[in-house]
Amino acid sequence: MIRVVVSGIGGKMGRMVSETVLKQSDMKLVGGVDPFVAGKTLKDLFKIEDSTAISPTVEELLINVQFDVLIDFTRGNVAPHTIEKTLEDRRNVVVGTTGIDGKDLDRLGKLADDLKVGFFLAPNFSLGAVLMMEFAKKAAQYLDHAEIIELHHNQKADAPSGTALRTAYLMSNGSKVFNKDTVQGEEKIKSALGGEVNGIRIHSVRLPGFVAHQEVLFGGVGEILTIRHDSLSRESFMPGVLLATRKVQGLTGFVVGLENLL
């Protein structure tokens, strides 16, 4: 039985992850951390017969709850502390939080590698999104002009999305530069042409009604190739979260990207 705790358990994603874990025969939800619902119990939040209180801090959680895997869906400025303390206690971590500073990720990844503790992070847990990124990576071998449009709900805290950044990294393979002969025209409005990763322009849209969507557009002579993925509900992320939760205990360090677990 995999004993699971959820960081950000009171948020939309935290609640959905918790409810999904509760339905699994090989998992047990044993606690959570969230200062906004601290003091409430699992029984209060999920109507189950478990009076374990939600912890206000990860330090308190580590003292009071025995668990195997912590799942974090919080914010980029909050998650690093939770991840660090959990890894130091040699507990496995699955992270879906985006917007974490690259230097923090490097530091935390090295910590996990040194301690040989499972630390898995995915910019996107949707299986369809992983395939979209793989198809874009393949197309990028043959087409040299590309842009990315990512569209999310207006409560998303970071831009561009972690999925868009990951897609651009995979497409450029760390070095390929796109759109070399594109005219760098004058922007009448700052950032009208979007941000750039190795020449790939990324455009972020934030509107109510969207969940998580992305288009990768490739341009060639007389043709356009569009690769698009749409997550229509947060449920689309749950199979990937469960896969990572089941496999993270077999990892001995830091792994990024759901494609590495498939």
CB distance 117 to 87 below 8 Å? yes
- Alpha-carbon span 65 to 42, nearest angstrom: 13
Beta strands across the sheet bearing 2-7: 27-33, 2-7, 69-72, 92-95, 119-121, 254-256
156 is an active site residue: yes
User: Is omega for the bond preceding 160 within 30 degrees of 0, making it cis?
Assistant: yes
Catalytic residue among 145, 152, 203, 229: 152
- Alpha-carbon span 211 to 196, nearest angstrom: 23
Q: Is 133 exposed, middle or buried (0-12, 13-18, 19+ CB in 10 A)?
A: buried
Chain centroid to CA 81: how far?
16
203 is an active site residue: no
Nearest partner of 91 among 130, 120, 55, judged by Cα: 120
CB distance 121 to 105 below 8 Å? yes
Strands, DSSP E only, in the chain?
2-7, 27-33, 69-72, 92-95, 119-121, 146-152, 195-197, 200-206, 212-220, 223-231, 254-256
Catalytic residue among 28, 85, 153, 156: 156
Catalytic residue ranges: 152, 156
